[in-house]
Amino acid sequence: MIYVAIVEDDDDIREALALLISGSPGLACTGVFRDCESAIERIGELMPDVLLLDIELPGMSGISAIPQLRGILPELDILMVTIHESDAMIFEALCAGASGYLVKTTSPAKLLKSIEEIHNGGAPMSAPIARRVIRSFRKNASRANDPLTRRETEILSQLCKGESYKMIADSLCISRGTVHTHIKNIYKKLHVSSNAQAVAKAIREKLV
């Protein structure tokens, strides 16, 4: 069972998300909040696995709240669900500690799949977000001082699409252990400690 909490100030959207999650096998909605302050107050008690988090909220913004939320629950997977699609906003959210980024037009099926992906170590992104990231990467793919190998670049690109280790292994016809080894090398070269940080740094420095 994956336990999910929601922070969303729009009453209709918040209720729709809660109903969607509660009615889906393998998922349970443990808490709904309209602001970050309320979520911070109770997140340690509820202990969700995944948090769906908006950005523009009454009081503290979603991005500003991420470090506090992760400070209370270090293993919490935070999935941004927002209307914002700017590179700066994506980068800020990922650098703050978010593990995935979806726009609010994402289909219910994609949202549910993304919750499972993020819980299994993926970094899901909406198609428009992933396209923007990959397009940015391709423009800079021929940089001579690129610190990553070709295989590491391929794997980082797939992480940016939100793919899990298993999906990457299957698509590249290598073992999950090999994927894990490459990702450890990516972390070491980029001086990061998570998939989300690796993606954020790739966006900022256009490494792929």
pTM: 0.69
pLDDT at 148 over 60: yes
Domain that holds residue 106: 2-119
Residues 102 and 197 in one domain: no
CATH number of the domain that residue 153 is part of: 1.10.10.10
Q: How buried is 16 (Cβ within 10 angstroms: 0-12 exposed, 13-18 middle, 19+ buried)?
A: middle
Sign of CA dihedral 68, 99, 125, 148: positive
Range scoring the smallest mean pLDDT among 36-50, 85-99, 105-119, 171-185 = 85-99
Q: What does the block give as tokens for 202?
A: 């790739």
CATH (domain of 6) = 3.40.50.2300
Q: Is there a single domain that holds both residue 105 and residue 55? A: yes
Domain count, the chain: 2
Whether residue 111 is found in the same domain as residue 149: no
* C-alpha closest to that of 54 among 24, 91, 93, 2: 93
Give tens-digit pLDDT for 150-204.
898 888 888 887 788 888 989 899 988 888 888 888 877 777 767 777 777 777 6
Task: Tell whether 124 is covered by a domain.
Answer: no
